[in-house]
Amino acid sequence: MQFAFIIDPLASLKAYKDTTVCMMREAHARGHTVWACEQRSIAWRSGDKRGDGVGAEFTRIALTGDDESWYRVLETVPRRLAEFDAVLMRKDPPFDLEYVTSTWLLEQAEREGARVFNRPDAIRDHNEKLAIAEFPDFVAHTLVTRDPQRLHAFIDEQRDVIVKRLDVMGGENIFRVRADDPNRNVIVEIMAANTARSVMAQRYIPEISEGDKRILLIGGKPVPHCLARIPKPGESRGNLAAGGRGEARPLGKRERQVADALGPRLAARGLLLVGLDMIGDWLTEINVTSPTCFREIQDQTGFNVAAMFVDALEAECSAPRGRRA
């Protein structure tokens, strides 16, 4: 099979920890052909010429086991997305207008016959912060608003909260705000951009000290281990990008309960790979753009997450198209 990955620049990927590289290596090891392109290369053209439609400049690569020189470029050619067995959208946020535009173009590619994972409409419809609103039984006290007065009232009520933007990743633009914080006014003002931007405020969950747990769902089924991302001393963010330490652990009863409740519903919408984030017993995010943590779980437990993913991908590519939700 031929798999096309839409990614950040190849040279920017850190093979020693990158989930997309894990996917590519597993696919390559099974004899599949791996192609890559950048989001900025995707374009649509109408007309009646062969090659019209949604396409991009794709680079075919060979994968190595060396984390320093992990790929070799074999060729770069223009191709239509519908020519591949699967197209994998693995571009990192921010989820800005260009990202939304990419989902529109990928939907057109689907109409032309492409199979895209995760499905572009599902990516667009599941904001990674706000998607938890669909599952209130698993969510701690949360508010989404751009009204500073509402934010201040929530802080006064909960006494200790986390405030974060809805469109970024990796722990960026996340603040812990206590009711007596002398900087709360300026934090609220900056985050809500003087009522121009909606933000999320969540009750602070003390169990963050034990880790912000990433639970991976593949084809609606949970990987048996999660990665607890433990904040460094003095931090309230467990994100690895913010200096957190990753510790793989078997899924507990609560993690399995949440995974079993959400997995089939999300998979039915075309979300082949999902990363649930939980702190303590509470669901805090549903990640659908480019969920990570394959490599850390594989290295620490020996469980081949990439193999589970490529198994699911191969099954989707072999299934009749009408089976997809």
Catalytically active residues are 129, 164, 214, 229, 237, 277, 285, 287
Note the helical H segments in the chain.
19-29, 97-111, 120-125, 148-158, 184-191, 253-267, 294-301, 305-318
Burial of 288 (0-12, 13-18, 19+ CB in 10 A): buried
In what helix (H) or strand (E) does residue 49 lie, and over which residues does it extend?
A: none
The residue type found at 234 is G
Query: Strands 225-230, 212-218: parallel, antiparallel or unpaired by DSSP?
Result: antiparallel
Cβ proximity of 169 and 185 under 8 Å? no
The CA distance from 132 to 118, in Å, is 18
248: Cβ–Cβ under 8 A, 6 or more apart, which residues?
Answer: 225, 226, 227, 228, 296, 297, 300, 301
Phi, psi dihedral angles at 69 (to 5 degrees): -115, 80
The helix-helix angle for 148-158 and 184-191 (nearest 10°) equals 130
- Within 10 Å of residue 233's Cβ, how many Cβ atoms? 6
- Measure the CA angle with vertex 201, ends 220 and 205; round to 5°: 70
